[in-house]
Structure 1
Amino acid sequence: MKKSLAGLVVLLAMGMTARSQVKIGFEVSFKEPQAHYAEVEMNISGLNKEYVDVKMPVWAPGSYLVREFAKQVEGFNASAAGKSLKFEKVRKNIWRVHLAKAAAVKINYRVYAFEISVRTPFIDDTHAFLSSTGIFMYPEGMLHLPSTVKIVPFKGWDKVSTGLEPVSGKKFTYRAADFDILFDSPIEVGNQDVFEFKAAGVKHEVAMYGGGNYDAARLKTDMAKIVEKATAVYGENPNKHYTFIVHNYEKSGGGLEHLNSTVLGASRNQYNTEKGYLGFLSLVAHEYHHLWNVKRLRPVALGPFDYDNENYTTNLWVAEGFTAYYENKFMLRAGFISPEVFVQTLAKAVSDVENTPGAKIQSAAASSYDAWIKYYRPNENSNNTGVSYYSKGEVVGLLMDLEIAKATGGTKSLDDVMKAMYLQCKTLKRGYTDAEFKTMVEKISGISFTDFWAKYVNGTQETAYGQYFGYAGIKVRNENEGKSTAYLGIASVKKEGRIFISAVSRHSAAWVDGLNVNDELIGVDGIPAELGVEKSASILGKKPGDIIQVDVIRDGFKKTIPVTLKANPNINLLAVADENASPEQLKVRAAWMGK
């Protein structure tokens, strides 16, 4: 037995030694950036096998859709010692290279990159944005191995911005401890404007591409405030350095989180208006909170990642929804919005969810699980069949926060749950299950959340907004209550001077009486459609129960469809602080809003 164990140890040690000798390096250059191409060279040495499979990820963590990055790869070839090696494609994203006893192989391929988004590579003659999952391949079974990346900028480009660690003494060369880190580290190459600030003891670099009317000094001050408020919730900032890559276009938006960086989309001329500037800071607050929530405090399914397939979780309502909720809290705590704006913003969030017909069909947990097939693939009926885990999760976060503060007399809040779950994930070195998250909420609050989970996480219960806002002494009024406004229930879009129905709301008058998406609207009761439909005089002068005649063209045929109008079912919440709130309510409010 002892000899067998000793032999096993020797074999394992030999295997580990052989594996540790494998070295992986990349070089990325740009021969034709104007045509949107990156040239990638991948070198693998220390191999001792018949063949190696190299794989391109099919999705980017943080964006839950299979995007098939391999479709943009061309010109794949492999060689050893200057001689070509045989290779074959064995799966949609796998190339098998036959080594012919070679211990080292050089692989070259090109990537076409011409989709502007925070999650996909984009290259032109002004810069290169390398979203790593769409650029780099990895050898099968070697995700855990380190690699280096050398960037060769195009002529005239002189800057590289990334969260990757630089290799000492080698310009524009970086290292990743494993492929999870490489795939979580976007790279910006070009002539971006770079400025820095320090907050929470961490150096932050901001790389601005595309110009804009921003004030760098103001941004450094205000972004630092958000960093400090976010860090205060968790008690520590887990990074040594952090990189913001900001793409300023004429019109842009959105963001994608990474382990120690983020990519933000912005409109270059939004910074000199209050709405535009606060919108950008809200995006910063959202993506920076992901540094904890989802990157470290994460659902168990989200890491280590399977880059070949979907990674399912029912907890995106926490990962994204709570992050949407906290961006409001950070904006309040940093002093960028008033308590009144904070409260009304969340009241509107509740209204938006309650006014979504699909919120009565799909739960927060189901929305999370189906992100792969629904959220990123919306159609004309999506509003009727589902709800965003961002918006529903934001509302669940609001309710949970108020419930915890109420149960603890204002001594605890959702902040305490988030910090405790972050520390738990850090200690266990893995993500959490839904049951573990619920257990922590109950531990912090001291009450059962079984009924809450059944109603708001796994169920489709209407939000008891009056009750929950009331915990904090906030009075909520539905501005539409008591009104009987005629409602048709369609959305429309104008194309080349013609108006088409783009959506029909579930159970509305249009739904019941048969108006269809893609119907061309000609008129309502003889009034031309270009004068408006929902707001046209013919409807404003009608009451629920009245019948209107809607003229449409469907598949080339003109039809007149009688529609019996219904009452507008939507709510419009107005929330204000009660000046006569009790001491108990004020304690809940203080715990909810924080410092």
Structure 2
Amino acid sequence: MTKRSQISLGLFAALFFFSAWAQAAPKIEYKLSMPEPYTHYFEVEMKVSNLKTSYIDLKMPVWAPGSYLVREFAKSVEGFQAMDANGNPLKSEKTDKATWRIQSKKAKSVTARYRVYAYELSVRTSFLDASHGYLNGTSVFMYVAGQKKTPVTVTVKPYKEWKKVNTGLDPVPGKKFTYSAPNYDVLADAPFEIGNQREFHFESKGVKFTVAMYGKADYNENTLKAEMKKVVDACSDVFGGDQPNKDYTFIVHNLSHGGGGLEHLNSTTLQVNRWAYATKGGMQSFLSLVCHEYIHVWNVKRLRPKSLGPFDYQSENYTTLLWVSEGITSYYDELLLERTGILSKKEYLGRLKNGIGSIENQPGQRVQPLAMSSFDTWIKAYRPNENSYNTTISYYTKGSVVAAMLDLAIIDATDGKKKLDDVMLELYRKTYLKNGSGFTERDFVNTVNQVAGKSMDDFFKNYIHSTKQIPYNEFFDKVGIKMIDRNKGRQTRAYLGAMTSERGGKLTITRVIRGTSAYENGLNVNDEIIAVDGFRVNSSELSKLIGFKRPGETAKVTISRDGLLMDINVTLKADNRANIALMEIENPTDRQKRLKEFWLKKN
């Protein structure tokens, strides 16, 4: 045998074994249909080939990444059945709340079919009706235990009257409405919008953007293109212009109510009031939401706490760093609008002032440290009750305020040479870009210390891991701004401290705020307030009658509790709620002016 023949034979053998391996590789294919959308059921067919095991476990996730609550998506599954390649039934049973075990008997292929009830239109769940279909993968698609890294395809069969599908997944060439994902994590992270939604497109810094608009709304397409481009450019600039995506999809639900968004790898879903675009404030709020979700392309989807990926879809994924992932993002979703000119400096400071006022007036911020707000989000943030205001704080709101103080501290420490942008970019480069890994809290703190050129450990000890009062003016003074409480020294009005709503003609207490007159004198949530000092009241009259009084006076509040009438004498305390204002100081120094310009520098 010649040397050339030996080489040819070796290549033939290698190709044969490669071909055999490729044919034997596991393969997972989904088919999604919705023949009767008005019934709100998606129908799923899941084919698993070349696994050849005695049994296969299919699992439905219990939560949606980005929304930290166990939602038990398996509760919406029904009609599960399994069969082999010849259509013969295979025995299956549930082994726990979200696992279906199929006795596959080493069959070459196994097909499972099931239906999912989808009638919750939020950015984190799935919805189907006569007007459109929307889904998040974790609430519709099961995965094969042990095979989350296996590539998958999804073929969508829209309802017969629907012509469009929008998703961040890659289309399979030559196959209409068929998409591929390199693994289950990517599939789960790509929402689908299915229907007759309107589309428009724009490009920015090499990225092709698709905006899929569901629902009627009053907007100007050209205006949205221009304003959204400003926002996505500003987000990219924070991370040095890096573009991890070649394309990006905004799915926008224009509704009569609601708002919010959820980030994904190369897409997002936004819910917007359909009339928001018609006003300046409404447009600013929409663009702030665009900014928040788009900056998640970097902060969360790539630059992430280590515990947030790869995901455990069956249980909670704990972290103390959501104040970084969401709080810092919330800081940027307003600051970047100021940098682009969408918000004026005055408007931006007004929003920052509102955030400070919100947390300073919430008793929960003196109970729950910011780190624990993140860690306990699974049991508290998404499950609020009537006492949550007294015991918790939002890692969004307080996180954004703390981020602002951290930014100012870095600017001061570096004499206007570095800012929070530099921390985020450096951490992104050395964790995600260099190692493809997440970061720990120590990684974040060390990066802050590196950029600031000094130890900032006490900042984290005081304002992240404890409930210590933030000395705002120590930070604001560096940029020539002063925070004042307009209510300080003017507490001459009485304050009840009970939030109410009118339900069926009844004035009912919905929240009692810790430390107030209502709290300390025994008014309860669900009490119906009937009268004050013998005068029957509604919501406005209650406020008026209490407002007539002065701190130290008593009001006789007549209530109905569980059907029993009673009078409660309430000794009224002063209204101690802060009324925050941010003011530019007179005659700032050159350094203060320079640092403020660096902080609020326009792009």
- Provide TM-score, normalisation by structure 2: 0.95
C-alpha deviation, 1:540, in angstroms: 1.7
Residue 565 of structure 2 is aligned to residue 561 of structure 1: no
Partner of 2:529: 521
User: CA separation of 1:256/1:20 partners in 2, compared to 1, >3 Å: closer, same or farther?
Assistant: farther
C-alpha deviation, 1:531, in angstroms: 5.1
Q: How does 1:96-107 map to 2 (within 5 A)?
A: 96-107=101-112
Residue 393 of structure 2 is aligned to residue 387 of structure 1: yes
Partner of 2:411: 405
Partner of 2:446: 439
Residue 164 of structure 2 is aligned to residue 156 of structure 1: no
Partner of 1:34: 38
Task: After superposition, give the CA deviation of every residue in 1:409-455 in whole Å (9 maximum; x if it has no partner).
Answer: 01110010011111122212111111110110011001211211111
**2:481 partner amino acid:** I
* Conservation of the 8 A alpha-carbon contact between 2:56 and 2:144: yes
Q: How does 1:21-420 map to 2 (within 5 A)?
A: 21-80=25-84, 81-235=86-240, 236-420=242-426
> In structure 1, how many angstroms separate the alpha carbons of the residues matched to 2:103 and 2:555?
71
**580-589 vs 172-181, which moves further:** 580-589
Identical positions, percent: 48
C-alpha deviation, 1:576, in angstroms: 2.3
> In structure 1, how many angstroms separate the alpha carbons of the residues matched to 2:583 and 2:224?
31
**1:286 partner amino acid:** H
Partner of 1:491: 499
> In structure 1, how many angstroms separate the alpha carbons of the residues matched to 2:560 and 2:542?
18
> In structure 1, how many angstroms separate the alpha carbons of the residues matched to 2:353 and 2:455?
25
* Conservation of the 8 A alpha-carbon contact between 1:202 and 1:242: yes
C-alpha deviation, 1:546, in angstroms: 1.0
* Conservation of the 8 A alpha-carbon contact between 1:213 and 1:268: yes
* Conservation of the 8 A alpha-carbon contact between 2:62 and 2:70: yes
> In structure 2, how many angstroms separate the alpha carbons of the residues matched to 1:529 and 1:370?
39
> In structure 1, how many angstroms separate the alpha carbons of the residues matched to 2:593 and 2:184?
49
C-alpha deviation, 1:577, in angstroms: 2.1
User: CA separation of 1:296/1:19 partners in 2, compared to 1, >3 Å: closer, same or farther?
Assistant: farther
Root-mean-square deviation (CA, aligned residues, Å) is: 1.5
Residue 411 of structure 2 is aligned to residue 424 of structure 1: no
Task: After superposition, give the CA deviation of every residue in 1:493-537 in whole Å (9 maximum; x if it has no partner).
Answer: 11011110000001111111100000000011122221536622x
SS of the residue corresponding to residue 271 of structure 1 reads helix
SS of the residue corresponding to residue 245 of structure 1 reads strand
> In structure 1, how many angstroms separate the alpha carbons of the residues matched to 2:27 and 2:584?
62
Task: After superposition, give the CA deviation of every residue in 1:270-299 in whole Å (9 maximum; x if it has no partner).
Answer: 211112111111110111111111111111
SS of the residue corresponding to residue 289 of structure 2 reads helix
C-alpha deviation, 1:477, in angstroms: 1.7
> In structure 2, how many angstroms separate the alpha carbons of the residues matched to 1:232 and 1:68?
39
* Conservation of the 8 A alpha-carbon contact between 1:487 and 1:534: no
Partner of 1:9: none
**2:81 partner amino acid:** N
Q: Which aligned runs of 4 or more in structure 1 are off by greater than 4 angstroms?
A: 16-20
User: CA separation of 1:215/1:152 partners in 2, compared to 1, >3 Å: closer, same or farther?
Assistant: same
C-alpha deviation, 1:17, in angstroms: 4.5
C-alpha deviation, 1:575, in angstroms: 1.0
> In structure 1, how many angstroms separate the alpha carbons of the residues matched to 2:497 and 2:83?
62
SS of the residue corresponding to residue 450 of structure 2 reads helix
**2:523 partner amino acid:** L
SS of the residue corresponding to residue 350 of structure 1 reads helix
**2:524 partner amino acid:** N
User: CA separation of 1:413/1:533 partners in 2, compared to 1, >3 Å: closer, same or farther?
Assistant: farther
Partner of 2:4: none
SS of the residue corresponding to residue 298 of structure 1 reads coil
Corresponding residue to 1:594 among 588, 592, 601: 601
C-alpha deviation, 1:343, in angstroms: 1.2
SS of the residue corresponding to residue 276 of structure 2 reads coil
Task: After superposition, give the CA deviation of every residue in 1:79-132 in whole Å (9 maximum; x if it has no partner).
Answer: 011100001100111000011231101111001000110000000011100111
* Conservation of the 8 A alpha-carbon contact between 1:410 and 1:590: no
* Conservation of the 8 A alpha-carbon contact between 2:495 and 2:573: yes
> In structure 2, how many angstroms separate the alpha carbons of the residues matched to 1:211 and 1:405?
45
**144-153 vs 470-479, which moves further:** 470-479
C-alpha deviation, 1:261, in angstroms: 0.4
> In structure 2, how many angstroms separate the alpha carbons of the residues matched to 1:22 and 1:289?
35
SS of the residue corresponding to residue 396 of structure 2 reads helix
**1:238 partner amino acid:** P
C-alpha deviation, 1:465, in angstroms: 1.4
> In structure 1, how many angstroms separate the alpha carbons of the residues matched to 2:537 and 2:169?
55
> In structure 2, how many angstroms separate the alpha carbons of the residues matched to 1:376 and 1:461?
25
**2:303 partner amino acid:** L
C-alpha deviation, 1:593, in angstroms: 1.7
Partner of 1:4: none
**2:504 partner amino acid:** E
**346-355 vs 372-381, which moves further:** 346-355
Partner of 2:10: none
C-alpha deviation, 1:370, in angstroms: 0.2
Partner of 1:539: 546
- Provide TM-score, normalisation by structure 1: 0.96
C-alpha deviation, 1:568, in angstroms: 1.5
SS of the residue corresponding to residue 389 of structure 1 reads coil
C-alpha deviation, 1:479, in angstroms: 1.1
Residue 448 of structure 2 is aligned to residue 448 of structure 1: no
> In structure 1, how many angstroms separate the alpha carbons of the residues matched to 2:416 and 2:593?
8
Question: What is the number of equivalent residue pairs in this alignment?
Answer: 582
C-alpha deviation, 1:200, in angstroms: 2.1
> In structure 1, how many angstroms separate the alpha carbons of the residues matched to 2:23 and 2:462?
50
Partner of 2:12: none
User: CA separation of 1:333/1:460 partners in 2, compared to 1, >3 Å: closer, same or farther?
Assistant: same
